[in-house]
Chain A
């Protein structure tokens, strides 16, 4: 009997703690498939961040370092600058990357660090149970915006891809979505391309993955996927923001 689909080798054969309907599982699989298909798991050092995926080293098989909240791009810089032959990626949520870690991501991008950043944007803080994120949409309910995100009080959400694309440093920035099969396939290509950009030594690569948090959105998994499609994509358009013509 031919094997036509299997768990990627770069993922441990274990059950994950993520909520039902959480797209972390899909995102992890896309990263692991890229490591498998490019044959680079043995050279890879992943940087886990602080959020629901703090223990992603329990799921990925490559060497991993657990970084302080927001600091993963700086930790990744230390790894890559000391061991340039390693493939280095960070895996960060929207609080980690766009709140506390804003300085670290901007400067790693500005320096053009030859690392790959996987940015999980679900417009909310998952692990700490549902607070506002820098990417929370206006009027969105969170536990720290119980009357909805109000521009006068809480400001406006941040479009990270667009912001980083104003810098000269980054080589490749793409936003993709995990809300349906067609988009997951595109996301897979984006993640793989990001790693190929690193392997080619072209510089900083980042893929923002629009993701769900059914638990803290108070939605069913299916409705959560619809929210990504209907509410998040209009604000966070999909596409390539840097490196459209990059050949790898």
Chain B
């Protein structure tokens, strides 16, 4: 039985990173994730690591690019406006295939926005954000325990594929406190990094970390390599949870904090004799289309709930591909969807799609 600690979400992320062998952290304060920096500032010097508060989120992601280029496990964290600043760096990391873990504790936007939770950076995380044809693995934890487990996994994924793995949290997850049960030993995967720039020591050719290729033929080839890598990740790394799905004909699709609210809705619906299932994507990219294939035959309708104007909604529509109706309920600006509001919509959908058929 592992050690159990009551922890704040942000702190669990930091502790997870250190346990995963990440001893280098570069970051900049921004609410609601600054506790990650505080934790790293206190912890890393004690374990022979390096904490550095950078002058900006731009500088921090570039320090990550530098440390990652030497083959070192490295992390930065921020919240929405700071993640916008990092987009250039994320594109360079992708083009140069330098592994790194980036944490976004999402707050309301756009612009300076608010400090309350949101899910309005889904597009930014999953559909680009930075320029160019690239992807990053996006993980969506739903509890402090998952913040810990997925952060450890993020480092393995980043190294396995030479890709950025992003933890997409929100202000509630970052600030809430829950019990975390730590494993005695973390499943740390070790990868050789012959490509790293560590000084050639006269023993090998020069290593170059770069993303510029002025010849279009060469750049196309580089892009084809990236796309091939992304195809493998799509095949192998989808993660999701199906909850109460065995006989349900209505499905809520939600991730992160909203998935927890959805589970409360599902319990409430059960008491009214309405059977609702939940599709909870855990990887937002690659988006777990197979979860939808598992339930689509029996499903009558889907309800996507997000703390946004409807971003994951578009991937749900793509996955359902016109086969069933997809409804949406969202709150913005830091407002959190309310269980009873969702329940009203569920009752309505039930009447339209399930009850009338009975």
A residues neighboring B (CB under 8 Å) = 41-45, 47-48, 54-55, 57, 60-68, 71, 74-83, 85-87, 103-104, 106-107
In the complex the two chains form, what is the Cα distance from A217 to B212 in whole Å?
27
User: Does chain A have a CB within 8 A of B206?
Assistant: yes
What 1/0 mask marks residues of chain B from 201 to 223 whose CB sits below 8 Å from any chain A CB? 11100111111100000000000
Is A82 a contact of B50 with CB atoms below 8 Å?
yes
> Which residues does chain A contribute within 8 Å of B320, judged by CB atoms?
none
Is A54 a contact of B212 with CB atoms below 8 Å?
yes
What 1/0 mask marks residues of chain B from 71 to 109 whose CB sits below 8 Å from any chain A CB? 010100000000000001100100010000000000000
What 1/0 mask marks residues of chain B from 187 to 201 whose CB sits below 8 Å from any chain A CB? 000000000011111
In this complex, the member of A42, A62, A75, A106 whose beta carbon has the largest number of chain B beta carbons within 10 angstroms is: A75
Is B66 a contact of A79 with CB atoms below 8 Å?
yes
> Which residues does chain B contribute within 8 Å of A82, judged by CB atoms?
24, 50, 66-67, 70, 72, 74
B residues neighboring A (CB under 8 Å) = 24, 26, 50, 52, 54-56, 58-60, 62-70, 72, 74, 88-89, 92, 96, 197-203, 206-212
In the complex the two chains form, what is the Cα distance from A62 to B70 in whole Å?
13
Nearest CB in chain A to that of B88: its residue: A68
> Which residues does chain A contribute within 8 Å of B96, judged by CB atoms?
66
Is A63 a contact of B207 with CB atoms below 8 Å?
yes
In the complex the two chains form, what is the Cα distance from A99 to B24 in whole Å?
29
Is B201 a contact of A78 with CB atoms below 8 Å?
no
> Could you tell me the dominant secondary structure of chain B's interface residues?
mixed
Q: With A67-B62, A83-B70, A107-B59 in contact, is A42–B24 under 8 Å at CB?
A: no
Is A68 a contact of B92 with CB atoms below 8 Å?
yes
| A-B contacts, 14 listed (Cβ < 8 Å) | A42-B200, A47-B66, A62-B206, A63-B197, A63-B198, A66-B208, A68-B88, A71-B65, A74-B59, A78-B69, A79-B67, A82-B66, A82-B70, A107-B59
Is A42 a contact of B201 with CB atoms below 8 Å?
yes
Is A62 a contact of B200 with CB atoms below 8 Å?
yes
In the complex the two chains form, what is the Cα distance from A80 to B198 in whole Å?
10
Q: With A45-B70, A66-B211, A71-B62 in contact, is A81–B199 under 8 Å at CB?
A: no
Nearest CB in chain B to that of A40: its residue: B199
Is B206 a contact of A78 with CB atoms below 8 Å?
no
Is A79 a contact of B208 with CB atoms below 8 Å?
no
Q: With A57-B210, A68-B89, A78-B66 in contact, is A42–B199 under 8 Å at CB?
A: yes
> Which residues does chain A contribute within 8 Å of B52, judged by CB atoms?
77, 81
In the complex the two chains form, what is the Cα distance from A41 to B205 in whole Å?
12
Closest Cβ of chain A to B222, distance in Å, is: 13
9 additional A-B residue pairs with CB within 8 Å, beyond A45-B197, A63-B200, A81-B63 = A43-B201, A63-B206, A64-B207, A68-B89, A74-B58, A75-B63, A81-B52, A82-B70, A86-B198
